[in-house]
Amino acid sequence: MESALTARDRVGVQDFVLLENHTSEVAFIENLRKRFKENLIYTYIGSVLVSMNPYKELEIYTKQHMERYRGVNFYEVSPHIYAVADNAYRSMRTERRDQCILISGESGAGKTEASKKVLQYYAVTCPASEHVQTVKDRLLQSNPVLEAFGNAKTLRNDNSSRFGKYMDIQFDFKGAPVGGHIINYLLEKSRVVHQSHGERNFHIFYQLIEGGEDDLLRRLGLEKNAQQYQYLVKGNCPKVSSINDRNDWKIMRKALSIIGFTDDELLNIIASVLHLGNVQYGGEDSGSAYITTETQIKYLARLLGVDGTVLKEALTHKKIIAKGEELMSPLNQEQAASARDALSKAIYGRTFTWLVNKINDSLAFKNASVIGLLDIYGFEVFQNNSFEQFCINYCNEKLQQLFIELTLKSEQEEYEAEGITWEPVQYFNNKIICDLVEEKFKGIISILDEECLRPGDASDITFLEKLEDTVGGHAHFLTHKLADGKTRKVMGREEFRLIHYAGEVNYNVNGQLLNGGQRLKIKKPKESASLNKSGHLCPQIFSQAEPTQFKNSLAKLMEILMSKEPSYVRCIKPNDAKQAGRFDEVLIRHQVKYLGLMENLRVRRAGFAYRRRYETFLQRYKSLCPDTWPNWDGRLVDGVSTLVKYLGYKPEEYKLGRTKIFIRFPKTLFATEDALEVRKHSLGMSYSQKTKYRKMRQSAVKIQAWWRGILARREAKRRREAANTIRRFVKGFIYRHQPRCPENEYFLDYVRYSFLMKLHRSLPKTVLDKSWPTPPPALIEASEQLRKLCMQNMVWKYCKNINSEWKHQVSHYILFYFILFCFLFCVLLGISVSSLSDGMFVLHVACEDNKQKGDVVLQSEHVIETLTKVAICADKMNSININQGRSVVDTKLFFFKIKLKFQGRLL
């Protein structure tokens, strides 16, 4: 608050409680606009943090920022998510009471990022050990796993959480995070089978298709093409520029291994959902459906571990229980497709729950203090609002009720503790709407359950008619049938309207029975496709009436939140285009209304805008009164009383409690703050301030001198080392012809290194290349050895690379020359080879008379191989004269190597 007062003129106020016109929605939004334009995305409403999504990276989440907020009073620094996290942590440590941080807002408002920042803050600032570090890693790595299986690309957000999450972070007595527990709510299972245009299914499907290894995809029966799967083509958005599915797959698999997943059972289930989507039906003349894609059934039976016949029957028939007798009734094509989709949603929903339970098992810890994190959908209104949106808005209705009750409760408790009289605040009590939804026997959820479970042909329309009969007279309920003529024009015949605390919402009943209470059932001992708590396949798939389940889980969530000390983060998205710097006032006004921010501000301002403990208030403003400056020696309450009387506070402007002063109007506080700013200038020239200034100046001079000395010593050391290096090099050059000694070892090592690097860059490329760099004296012998090894290596590589076809040709040539010289064996005197690369060679033979033609001149494309064979056969290894600069030793060695290579392979 104090920092907010200092900066109020530049960027509005950092706490909406200090808005002079606190009842004006226009003033509220204008304050948001001012701060947003300055990249100040956080603002308080008392202890509530309002967060605007900047849609860009801001340098406000570094480790230095974390240290700045660590252990600091909530109002001493500017608003930040770290301040909320640190305040909850310190309250847990000092008051020994569990805390919770409730994060809410629309899709794309930054809820998931806010929860990540809280987790990162605790991971960095809390005490750590080897075990604690493992827990921290698992807590952080749970995010990419849950995002892969629970997030999706929507029109509003490329990484939108399609489920609600409550996470308990568990701390030991030292304040170190030692465990955690996650509860998931409202997974948007309808996304598994259908996506709006421009949206995608859950990330995991695309990650598996794009990033999965070939062997894995082959085992799962999948192809690397998302367009091949019916559940991935509905939104016509297989790829997104801002999402790297292949890289996210690697991150997700690594996170799974850190958490403790070791098998691919999870991926079997995910693949089975894709195969289910490709199950197609045909229709018989009788109208009964039958499956036309047997391949998919085979894959499903293997991946899920079920009997294919049982699975086909479950996908084409429904079970009817009449008078205790079970009857199987065939489904038509439309009903069968609905059953298939319902099974897919049930499998994915239970898989997600199983995944969360596995994560919980890896984080389990008992007897710990807790800070809870609730990341859940905000109140939203779409053009078509389904059963799932009905549940989301109902959840927010309950949270708003809790929010107002806890806010009022905390205000009332503080006033009672301080002995301050406070008149009750009038506010909209949405209990009437909550009762309309959840009341036993008469609420919407009870009616939906009853319609789902009753025998007969229940449908979405019969459910709507039942609503009209039961709650048709309720002030917050309306249908097309019950509406007046004007309202009927904007309402469909299959819709009902609820008037929520945040506005009117029309819900479409199409799919309510399917989503709310599915009657799909596969039941056969030891064969199934569902997951139980232990992670194994259990004997049945049965999606019970979900509204009651959700109502019960929501009631448990309310109990959890009521048992903890709450902190609130309200997230707002500035525009639907995800553009940085764009401020859509109409959109923001809707969110301010849906989040109940004006209601919260009104409750907070119903009493007093500012309250501070006496010691804090006196310490800040004591310089404004001669009687309290520089120190007050009496009771704190008397010092504050003396100070406010001197400042001219009127009785209606403030109240003094037992430990705090309460100031009703912001203008009173602003006037006091302005007087403090003026006083600071006069205090700056006082003797104490001059003394302090001199001390600070002397300290600064000492620090500067010390730092200059460090820089000078560093530079001197660098120059000294450079000079020593040059001296060693010059001295080594002088002693370069002497035996190795301390004076020349640096130079000799450098020369050797240079020779070896030069040799590395200019090695001969062929056997005929005789170039070789001149070695230094110390490396002459070693250089000669290297040269020979290089030549041998090139010969070996040359011979090794002869392919089978070339060998076949050579064998024919050598066969010819072998026959030719069989009769010349005794008369062969020697062989000469041309120095050119023309393949010419001469066979020198003995001539007994003049009738003989003499030496034979021949040509061969493979002269080396030919002569080698001839020399071996004639035992004339020393009779070959190759006039190309090769020494006798090299020639013998060369033919010896060739002999070894070709021995026994040539005819």
In one-letter notation, the amino acid at residue 889 is V
Which helix (H) or strand (E) segment holds residue 283: the answer is strand 281-283
- Euclidean distance between CA atoms 577 and 157, whole angstroms: 9
- Euclidean distance between CA atoms 220 and 214, whole angstroms: 10
* 49 close to 569: Cβ distance less than 8 angstroms: yes
Evaluate if residue 841 carries a pLDDT over 60: yes
- Residues of each annotated binding site: 105-112
SS3 sequence, 375-442? EEECCCCCCCECHHHHHHHHHHHHHHHHHHHHHHHHHHHHHHHHCCCCCCCCCCCCHHHHHHHHCCCC
Handedness of CA 607, 608, 611, 614 (dihedral sign): negative
Evaluate if residue 89 carries a pLDDT over 90: yes
Whole-Å CA distances, 626 to 51, 643, 649, 672, 880: 42, 9, 16, 15, 119
Structure-token pair, residue 800: 């090794």
Which helix (H) or strand (E) segment holds residue 530: the answer is strand 530-531
- When pLDDT is cut at 50, 70 and 90, the band that residue 754 belongs to is confident
- Euclidean distance between CA atoms 770 and 787, whole angstroms: 9
Evaluate if residue 82 carries a pLDDT over 90: yes
- Euclidean distance between CA atoms 204 and 267, whole angstroms: 9
Greater confidence (886 vs 157) lies with: 157
Residues with a known catalytic role: 107-108, 112, 157, 160-161, 378, 380
- When pLDDT is cut at 50, 70 and 90, the band that residue 648 belongs to is confident
Lowest mean pLDDT among 247-251, 613-617, 627-631, 830-834: 830-834
* Residue showing tokens 């995002």: 147
Query: What residues are paired with 663 via a beta bridge?
Result: 610, 654
- Residues of each annotated binding site for ATP: 105-112
Helix-helix angle 130-150:245-259, to 10 degrees: 140
- When pLDDT is cut at 50, 70 and 90, the band that residue 520 belongs to is very low
Q: Which domains does the chain have, with CATH numbers?
A: 396-510 (1.20.58.530), 610-683 (3.30.70.1590), 744-801 (no CATH), 823-900 (no CATH)
Greater confidence (609 vs 21) lies with: 21
Write out pLDDT tens, residues 442-479: 889 888 888 877 766 777 888 888 898 899 889 999 99
Whole-Å CA distances, 255 to 82, 142, 151, 261, 353: 25, 7, 16, 9, 17
674 three-state secondary structure: helix
16 three-state secondary structure: helix
Instruction: Find the radius of gyration of the CA atoms of the chain.
Output: 43
Whole-Å CA distances, 655 to 556, 607, 614, 661: 40, 11, 12, 6
The predicted pLDDT at position 769 comes to 79
Mean pLDDT of 334-345: 90
Write out pLDDT tens, residues 60-70: 999 999 999 99
Write out pLDDT tens, residues 359-368: 998 888 877 8
- Euclidean distance between CA atoms 101 and 113, whole angstroms: 14
The predicted pLDDT at position 899 comes to 46
Say which DSSP state 771 is in.
Answer: -
Lowest mean pLDDT among 80-94, 219-233, 478-492, 790-804: 790-804
Evaluate if residue 283 carries a pLDDT over 50: yes
With the CA atoms of 335, 336, 340 and 345 taken in that order, what torsion angle do they form, in degrees rounded to the nearest 10? 10
Q: What integer best gives the mean pLDDT of the chain?
A: 81
Evaluate if residue 390 carries a pLDDT over 50: yes
* pTM listed for this prediction: 0.66
In one-letter notation, the amino acid at residue 737 is H
Write out pLDDT tens, residues 855-884: 777 777 777 777 777 777 666 666 555 555
Mean pLDDT of 783-804: 77
- When pLDDT is cut at 50, 70 and 90, the band that residue 545 belongs to is very low
The predicted pLDDT at position 819 comes to 56
Single out the residue of 420, 523, 524, 508 nearest to residue 464, CA to CA: 508
Whole-Å CA distances, 200 to 240, 397, 440: 9, 28, 37
Lowest mean pLDDT among 154-168, 396-410, 482-496, 511-525: 511-525
- Euclidean distance between CA atoms 288 and 335, whole angstroms: 10
Evaluate if residue 534 carries a pLDDT over 50: no
- When pLDDT is cut at 50, 70 and 90, the band that residue 263 belongs to is low
Which helix (H) or strand (E) segment holds residue 752: the answer is helix 745-761
Single out the residue of 303, 244, 315 nearest to residue 275, CA to CA: 303
- When pLDDT is cut at 50, 70 and 90, the band that residue 522 belongs to is very low
Lowest mean pLDDT among 171-185, 650-664, 860-874: 860-874
* 517 close to 449: Cβ distance less than 8 angstroms: yes
Considering the chain, what percentage of its residues have pLDDT values greater than 90? 24
Considering the chain, what percentage of its residues have pLDDT values greater than 70? 84
Evaluate if residue 821 carries a pLDDT over 70: no
